[in-house]
């Protein structure tokens, strides 16, 4: 099952991506957690020590490898070396494999075509493997998700909090995801503190696209000041997210 997560900054994408990663990892299969938001800190949120995460090179910085392996036009997609690359450069935590994309705009090159081509190949290769679960934490802009990459995504999860701005961003993301041909879009309402807030989200997204309502957690909020894992501090939030994961795998048809 291949999932991408988007939404306005601060709504809880990384927190939710981390919860989903850990929940699916508990089922035993390999879960690839891809940090595709330059602003994100998914590594720490899934339990990779900060100093270890800092040592992990972002994929976009591996310029030599990128240049060497993206030279072959469309063929590299079938090149098993992409798989070697994933194994060599991901951080392994149990059955979780973590990859950090980095910011494709940084790096000082005049042209990023080859690098972007390689990144697409990398993600496509991950996305095309039927057996693995992939979770991509994407940030609000999903423009860099190419059509080729998007083809492998089963569902775009859009996180919203009870605010007009986050709803507007979510609607923009929904539109882009549709244009990219992503077959399913699911809304996750986060930081819900009242029935009124729940109703606000429900009326903003009429239809069946809301996968669940996650309550505002004082424990998670307070935990932002600590180095410890946010998703471990609130078992109730994890239980709510388990229900969301059940719904996702029900809709996508994955094993859970
Ligand atoms: N359900 C929740 N209840 C309380 N605080 C939350 C919740 N979800 C996320 N947060 C907090 O909101 C802040 C932003 O979350 P984060 O996951 O980094 O958002 P994003 O990745 O969308 O920018 C963090 O301090 C996080 O601890
Ligand atoms: Mg984030």
With H, G, I as helix, E, B as strand and everything else as coil, classify residue 142: coil
Q: Report residue 145: phi and psi, to 5°.
A: -80, 110
Tell me how far the alpha carbon of residue 50 is from its chain's centroid. 19
**Could you report the per-residue pLDDT of 217-251, keeping only the tens digit for each?**
999 999 888 877 777 789 999 999 999 999 999 99
Domains of the chain listed by start with CATH number: 2-105+112-252 (3.40.50.300)
For the CA of 37, the nearest atom of ligand 1? 21
What is the residue with the minimal CA distance to atom 14 of ligand 1? Answer: 10
* Predicted pLDDT at 76: 42
Instruction: State pTM to two decimals.
Output: 0.88
Q: Which residues pair with 34 in a beta bridge?
A: 99, 136
pLDDT of residue 139: 79
Q: What tens digit of pLDDT does each residue of 169-182 get?
A: 999 999 999 998 99
Closest ligand by atom to 224 CA: 1
pLDDT of residue 92: 92
Show the ligand 1 pocket: residues with CB < 6 angstroms.
Answer: 7, 9-15, 40, 190-191, 214, 216-217, 220-221, 224, 230, 237
**Count of C-beta atoms within a 10 Å radius of residue 236:** 11
Q: What share of the chain is helix, strand, coil (3-state, %, to 5)?
A: 50, 15, 35
Model pLDDT, residue 240: 97
What is the rounded average pLDDT for all residues in the chain? 82
């Amino acid at each position: 099952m291949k999932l991408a997560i988007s939404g306005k900054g601060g709504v809880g994408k990384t927190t939710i991506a981390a919860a989903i990663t850990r929940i699916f990892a508990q089922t035993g299969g390999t879960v690839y957690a891809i940090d595709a938001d330059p602003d994100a800190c998914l590594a720490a949120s899934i339990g990779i020590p900060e100093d270890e995460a800092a040592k992990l090179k972002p994929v976009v910085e591996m310029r030599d490898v990128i240049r060497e392996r993206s030279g072959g036009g469309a063929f590299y997609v079938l090149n098993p070396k992409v798989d070697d690359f994933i194994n060599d450069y991901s951080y392994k935590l149990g059955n979780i494999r973590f990859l950090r994309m980095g910011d494709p705009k940084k790096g000082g090159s005049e042209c990023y075509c080859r690098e972007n081509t390689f990144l697409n190949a990398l993600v496509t290769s991950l996305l095309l493997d039927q057996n693995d679960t992939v979770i991509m934490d994407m940030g609000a802009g999903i423009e860099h998700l190419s059509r080729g990459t998007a083809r492998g995504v089963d569902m775009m999860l859009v996180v919203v909090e009870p605010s007009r701005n986050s709803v507007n961003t979510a609607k923009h993301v929904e539109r882009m995801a549709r244009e990219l041909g992503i077959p399913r879009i699911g809304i996750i309402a986060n930081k819900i503190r009242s029935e009124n807030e729940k109703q606000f989200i429900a009326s903003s997204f009429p239809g069946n696209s809301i996968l669940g309502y996650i309550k505002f957690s004082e424990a998670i909020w307070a935990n932002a000041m600590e180095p410890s894992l946010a998703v471990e501090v609130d078992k109730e939030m994890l239980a709510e997210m388990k229900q969301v994961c059940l719904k996702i795998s029900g809709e996508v048809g994955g094993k859970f």
